[in-house]
Chains A and B, each alone.
Chain A
Amino acid sequence: MSEEYKRRYTFGEDYGTSDYKFGPITLGERPEVIENRGYFPDTSSIMTRLMGASREVVVGRELAMYLGSREELVSRLVYPMKNGVVERGDERAWKVIYEVTRYGLEMFKSGDPGFKGFYVCAALSAIAPRYMYEELFELHRRIDEETRLVKAVTIIPQPLAVAIAHKVPTCVVIESGHGNTQVCPISRYPIKGAMVVLNRGGSDADALTSQILYDAGYGDLAKEEALVRRVKEAIGLVPRRLQEAIEEAKRKPELYRARFKVSGTRLEIDLGSESWARFLIGEYVFNPKHEVFTSYFKRGMPKPRDVKVGDVLFRGMLDLGEAVVEAVEKCPLELQPHLYGKVLLSGGNFHWRAPPELQGVAVDSATKLKLLLAEHGVEDVAVEVAPEPKFSVWRGCIIYGYAVPEDYSWSWDKMEGWLKLHD
């Protein structure tokens, strides 16, 4: 197959914890995005029969039309990558991944007679165990047998894709998604042995936001995940120094007042005098060790714990600065200055606003990490928040799929190359 073919039919797939970003190279700068979830409708219900749905699982944009009551969501709505890792025997999760993948590929099915299937490059969390690779390969093989849409498939870790998209061969990538945060040093290859994984991500900030809403009298809304996430994104702030920010917000309550109007509804959330709590949301992402969080843990908010999944130890309470230092210091001394030369923050969990009127008190993610690193004695680190971080992984997949020679076959030792599905 020619390079010309890859220019048209390289396909990227980013299995994020929250969203699935997908699409061919021809989409250019931005992929298609759907939520990485599937809904298992009650096939016996009258509504389902009336809507003519016979599918076991519904994915994609039409999913919202099938949703049942809030109680049902818990058992019927499945986010398969919620923690970055899918259990081998979790059939419902794998079923959703299969449907989501097929949905994406079929959306871009080509009528061109020269089309022989996509070169698919998929990205998984850096902590994904080998069986997830095997399952994902198998799933693509099945889709190809049914549709002939996949010519070859490869899988790469998400931090590598981020480094590729940002044109940096040597760096530390911090990919923070919904379920976890991966701190991964990269020097042309991911240095897996030096990777540090944190057992917290956007979902933990969601949990804290939910608790803050509960405390502010919005207990009924605090259970709706999607709404809580939107509130978090709208009102959450990262403080330069938490204690000073809280004091400042209490001194000037109007300036820091957190209000959120839910579009399309009559509902407005107003934290009023509790608006200082918006700083807790951002701080929690970077440093959950602050004593202010103790009361939340005592009231039942789950505390991020150290857990071991397979061979990977997920650290709970490490602050992000410590995590970077620990990862870099596992690398050869000679490489360390180069790694500090560029730290890339990627993933939706670093997308925090620092409004100009709150300058000096609220900061962006890069500034916050620099402050944390300075506390650990590491100065002059170049930290950069990936522009459009939600799409970095997909872009990296597109470049990887385009550039890696098609005759380079998949190697389980190196965990790279192409698995050819048909000629």
Chain B
Amino acid sequence: MTDQLLEAVREFFKQRGYVEAPRPRGATQAASFFEGGGVRAAVFTVGEDALRGRGEALRSILAASTFREGVDYVYVAVPKVLATVIDSSVLSEQGLGLLVVNGRVVEAVPAKKRAPQQGLAELERRVAELEAQLSRLAKFRVEGLSQAELSRLGLIETQLAELRAKLDSAVRRLEASIASLAERLTRLEEVRERVEAEVEAAVEEAGRAMEAEGLPSYFKDNPWLSILASRGKER
């Protein structure tokens, strides 16, 4: 199922002049990458199979939400049956695009272009670097530093504080997003269970209708059909 999904997505981007790009180092296996016209897009596919594991769909959507590395657009691609239970406004809030696959691909929610920003890993790397520099400079401080060195140190401290603030803010946003997504996922699971029950009932009903199709009128909606069909199996 996921293979068919992916194949449809490839065709979608191909028709728009994109080619499949190699997966950046460290990027998740769940994503596919496409580039064209100086633009890069990442697509996270969530197949119907993901519904079998409670966390599977959430993991894919979270991964898409937090993914920043070197792409301009991030999409989530889902089959039509799943699209009916996804609140597209949540994806939109996160700047994620939604591709609905039903044989062909429809861009249900366009992705928002990601502002060039440093990823969390990059921020952490720079904070660590600046902390190392600060530590080195602190040694000189005790030995007496020149005015120029002190002002440079002040600048580094300011930069460091800004970066830490950015990092804290990013973490807070991320935590809020995770909490919101977790809540949405819980609702999604409830909706899924309800939809599954409805689908099951509809399939059963369709089965009965199909069964009665072409048969005389007294077969239609006759409860005895199921009662009698279980004769001999009731012990």
With A7-B214, A7-B215, A28-B216 as known contacts, state yes or no: A416 contacts B231, CB within 8 Å.
Answer: yes
A337 an interface residue at 8 Å Cβ cutoff? no
B223 an interface residue at 8 Å Cβ cutoff? yes
A79 an interface residue at 8 Å Cβ cutoff? no
Interface string of A403-423 (1 = CB under 8 A from B): 111011100000011000000
Determine if A29 and B217 form an interchain contact, defined as CB atoms under 8 angstroms apart: yes
* Contacting residues, chain B, for A417 (C-beta < 8 A): 231-232
* Contacting residues, chain B, for A399 (C-beta < 8 A): 218-219, 222, 224-225, 228
Determine if B228 and A169 form an interchain contact, defined as CB atoms under 8 angstroms apart: no
With A167-B223, A169-B223 as known contacts, state yes or no: A395 contacts B228, CB within 8 Å.
Answer: no
* Contacting residues, chain B, for A165 (C-beta < 8 A): 218
Determine if A395 and B218 form an interchain contact, defined as CB atoms under 8 angstroms apart: yes
Q: Quick one: which of B214, B216, B232 contacts A395, CB cutoff 8 A?
A: B216
Determine if A404 and B229 form an interchain contact, defined as CB atoms under 8 angstroms apart: yes
A155 an interface residue at 8 Å Cβ cutoff? no
B227 an interface residue at 8 Å Cβ cutoff? yes
B221 an interface residue at 8 Å Cβ cutoff? yes
A183 an interface residue at 8 Å Cβ cutoff? no
Determine if A405 and B223 form an interchain contact, defined as CB atoms under 8 angstroms apart: no
With A164-B224, A399-B224 as known contacts, state yes or no: A408 contacts B231, CB within 8 Å.
Answer: yes
Determine if B219 and A404 form an interchain contact, defined as CB atoms under 8 angstroms apart: no
A398 an interface residue at 8 Å Cβ cutoff? yes
Determine if B224 and A29 form an interchain contact, defined as CB atoms under 8 angstroms apart: no
A25 an interface residue at 8 Å Cβ cutoff? yes
Measured CB to CB, the nearest residue on chain A to B211 is A3
Measured CB to CB, the nearest residue on chain B to A392 is B218
Complexed CA–CA distance, A399 and B232 (Å): 16
Q: Quick one: which of A169, A398, A402, A409 contacts B227, CB cutoff 8 A?
A: A169
Q: Quick one: which of B216, B218, B227, B229 contacts A188, CB cutoff 8 A?
A: B227
A400 an interface residue at 8 Å Cβ cutoff? yes
* Contacting residues, chain A, for B221 (C-beta < 8 A): 167
Complexed CA–CA distance, A188 and B223 (Å): 10
Determine if B225 and A405 form an interchain contact, defined as CB atoms under 8 angstroms apart: no
With A29-B216, A29-B217, A398-B216 as known contacts, state yes or no: A403 contacts B232, CB within 8 Å.
Answer: no
With A167-B223, A399-B222 as known contacts, state yes or no: A404 contacts B216, CB within 8 Å.
Answer: no
Of listed B218, B219, B222, residue having the most chain A CB within 10 A: B218
Measured CB to CB, the nearest residue on chain A to B230 is A405
* Contacting residues, chain A, for B217 (C-beta < 8 A): 29
Of listed A167, A398, A403, residue having the most chain B CB within 10 A: A403
With A7-B215, A399-B218 as known contacts, state yes or no: A167 contacts B232, CB within 8 Å.
Answer: no
* Contacting residues, chain A, for B233 (C-beta < 8 A): 405
* Contacting residues, chain A, for B216 (C-beta < 8 A): 25, 28-29, 395, 398
* Contacting residues, chain A, for B232 (C-beta < 8 A): 404-405, 407-409, 417
Determine if A167 and B231 form an interchain contact, defined as CB atoms under 8 angstroms apart: no
Shortest distance in angstroms between A245's beta carbon and chain B's nearest beta carbon? 35
Complexed CA–CA distance, A402 and B216 (Å): 12
* Contacting residues, chain A, for B231 (C-beta < 8 A): 404-405, 408, 416-417
* Contacting residues, chain B, for A405 (C-beta < 8 A): 229, 231-233
Shortest distance in angstroms between B204's beta carbon and chain A's nearest beta carbon? 16
B177-235 interface with A by 8 A CB criterion: 214-219, 221-225, 227-229, 231-233
Complexed CA–CA distance, A407 and B215 (Å): 22
Q: Quick one: which of B214, B222, B228 contacts A167, CB cutoff 8 A?
A: B222
Shortest distance in angstroms between A6's beta carbon and chain B's nearest beta carbon? 10
Interface string of A185-197 (1 = CB under 8 A from B): 0001000000000
* Contacting residues, chain A, for B215 (C-beta < 8 A): 7, 25, 402
* Contacting residues, chain A, for B225 (C-beta < 8 A): 399, 403
Determine if A169 and B224 form an interchain contact, defined as CB atoms under 8 angstroms apart: yes
* Contacting residues, chain B, for A408 (C-beta < 8 A): 231-232
Determine if A403 and B218 form an interchain contact, defined as CB atoms under 8 angstroms apart: no
Measured CB to CB, the nearest residue on chain B to A403 is B228
* Contacting residues, chain B, for A409 (C-beta < 8 A): 232
Measured CB to CB, the nearest residue on chain A to B222 is A167
Complexed CA–CA distance, A398 and B219 (Å): 9
Complexed CA–CA distance, A70 and B218 (Å): 41
Interface string of A283-313 (1 = CB under 8 A from B): 0000000000000000000000000000000
* Contacting residues, chain A, for B227 (C-beta < 8 A): 169, 188
Shortest distance in angstroms between B210's beta carbon and chain A's nearest beta carbon? 11
* Contacting residues, chain A, for B223 (C-beta < 8 A): 167, 169
Shortest distance in angstroms between A396's beta carbon and chain B's nearest beta carbon? 8
* Contacting residues, chain B, for A29 (C-beta < 8 A): 216-218
Q: Quick one: which of A7, A28, A167, A416 contacts B224, CB cutoff 8 A?
A: A167
* Contacting residues, chain A, for B224 (C-beta < 8 A): 163-164, 167, 169, 399-400, 403
Of listed B223, B227, B228, residue having the most chain A CB within 10 A: B228
Complexed CA–CA distance, A408 and B230 (Å): 10
* Contacting residues, chain B, for A188 (C-beta < 8 A): 227
Measured CB to CB, the nearest residue on chain A to B218 is A395
A-B CB contact pairs (8 Å), 27 listed: A7-B214, A28-B216, A29-B216, A164-B224, A164-B228, A165-B218, A167-B222, A167-B223, A169-B223, A395-B216, A398-B216, A398-B218, A399-B219, A399-B222, A399-B225, A399-B228, A402-B215, A403-B228, A403-B229, A404-B231, A405-B229, A405-B232, A405-B233, A407-B232, A408-B231, A408-B232, A417-B231
Closest 4 CB pairs of A and B: A408-B232, A403-B228, A164-B224, A167-B222
Instruction: Please give 17 more A-B residue pairs, beta carbons under 8 A apart, in addition to A164-B224, A403-B229, A404-B229.
Output: A25-B216, A29-B217, A164-B228, A167-B218, A167-B222, A169-B227, A399-B219, A399-B224, A399-B225, A399-B228, A400-B224, A402-B219, A403-B224, A404-B228, A404-B232, A405-B232, A408-B231
